[in-house]
Copies of this chain bind each other. A is one copy, B any other.
Amino acid sequence: MIFITRREHFNAAHRLFKPEYTDEQNLDVFGKCSNPNWHGHNYTLFVTVKGEVNPDTGFLVNLKDLSALINHHVIERLDHRNINLEVSFMAGLLASTENLAIGIWNELMDPISQLGAKLHNIKLCETENNFVEYYG
């Protein structure tokens, strides 16, 4: 069993808030992350897949295929987007790093299994100081 990780990036806007709260209540719970005018981040995404090395290629998966798959299913839908308003798999969810990591896992699990590998871990960094990991 071998593990291979691909790093990708996206830049997006978001806001942490509950629509049933007033702006004051949201500020109280979510602090400056609740700013109604949005803020944003350079997110860094690490996708780790696992499986056996193919003796014909020396690869677990071809990294070009893995990168293309991540870009198609995740990056193109998040990059330069508003996570609250424009990302279908986040609809109705709080736009936290936790929920975003789980959403990315759900989008990638099936496509990666069709590459012949198994999704092992999503690591999503919001800043240099904070990151979330999800193993399904």
A interface list, Cβ under 8 A from B: 1-9, 11-14, 16, 18, 29-33, 35, 37-42, 48, 53, 56-60, 63-64, 79-82, 85-86, 93-99, 101-102, 127-135
Contact = CB atoms under 8 A, between A and B. Distances in A.
Contacts of A129: 6-8
Given A58-B98, A59-B96, A99-B53, A130 B5 contact: yes
Binding site of A, secondary structure by majority: helix, strand, loop or mixed?
mixed
Number of copies: 6
A16 B7 CA distance: 21
9 contacts: A4-B97, A12-B39, A13-B40, A16-B58, A18-B56, A37-B85, A39-B82, A58-B96, A58-B98
